[in-house]
Amino acid sequence: MVRNALLEIRESLNEFLINRYDIDSDVVEINRLVGSAGDQPSKNQNKVIITLINLAQETASQYYSIPTPDRKGGYRKINPDMCFNLEILFTCCFDDYDESLKFLGSLLSFFQSHLVLREFIGKESNSAGVLKFELQDQTFSEMHSLWNSMGAKYSPSVVCRVKHIIVQENQTTIESASVSDINVRAEPL
């Protein structure tokens, strides 16, 4: 589900930037900022890089399941949905600093015009979802810690929370027959 959400974001952002700047090739990649050898991956050069920096379970959602009718006339109960928030770093990795700033401004325009991305279907599960974007304020010390933990040098960037990634496998936990008859006997006291 996480991968599908990131692919949907990449596709939408890439289309937005290609249309805005009349570019012939993809300009958005999903990748880490620093390779295992400590260098910048070559595919990151002159691109906007999407990097997952945190995954947190949504605790404000209600977690309960309601029995639903099945095809046999009975009922089944499945585990409740699990909702997650992704924190994503969007980094403008261009050789020219001015170009990085230009694309950073375009990122902000994208998020302003796409507060919610259309519904998408997860190929790895039966879940559907709507991606909701929320830009995150980062203090100087938080940004410093983030970039240090990744072992990267700062580039113009923005952190965005993508809310309500839903995971649901629809596996039945309980099956029961439906109630067909109710008998109530009343006896005098």
In sign, the C-alpha dihedral spanning 20, 23, 28, 34 is: negative
How confident is the prediction along the chain (189 residues), in pLDDT tens digits per residue?
A: 889 899 999 999 999 999 999 999 999 999 999 998 889 999 999 999 999 999 999 877 665 666 777 777 778 777 777 888 999 999 999 999 999 999 999 999 999 999 888 665 554 444 556 889 999 999 999 999 999 999 999 999 999 999 878 777 776 666 666 666 777 777 887
**pLDDT on residue 92:** 98
| pLDDT the model gives residue 126 | 47
Decide if 6 contacts 32 (C-beta within 8 A): no
Taking the C-alpha atoms of residue 172 and residue 79, their distance in angstroms, rounded to an integer, is 7
Instruction: State which H helix or E strand residue 162 sits in.
Output: strand 157-167
Predicted pLDDT of residue 125: 47
List b or e across 46-56, with b for residues whose CB sees 16 or more CB atoms inside 10 angstroms. Answer: ebbbbbbeeee
Encoding tokens for residue 77?
């109960």
Stated pTM of the model: 0.81
User: 143, 141, 136, 144: which is closest to 160 by C-alpha?
Assistant: 136
pLDDT of residue 64: 64
Distances (CA, A) of 93 to 2, 7, 30, 31, 123: 23, 19, 12, 12, 30
In the chain, how long is the greatest CA-to-CA distance?
Answer: 91
Taking residue 104's Cβ as centre, other Cβ atoms within 10 Å add up to 19
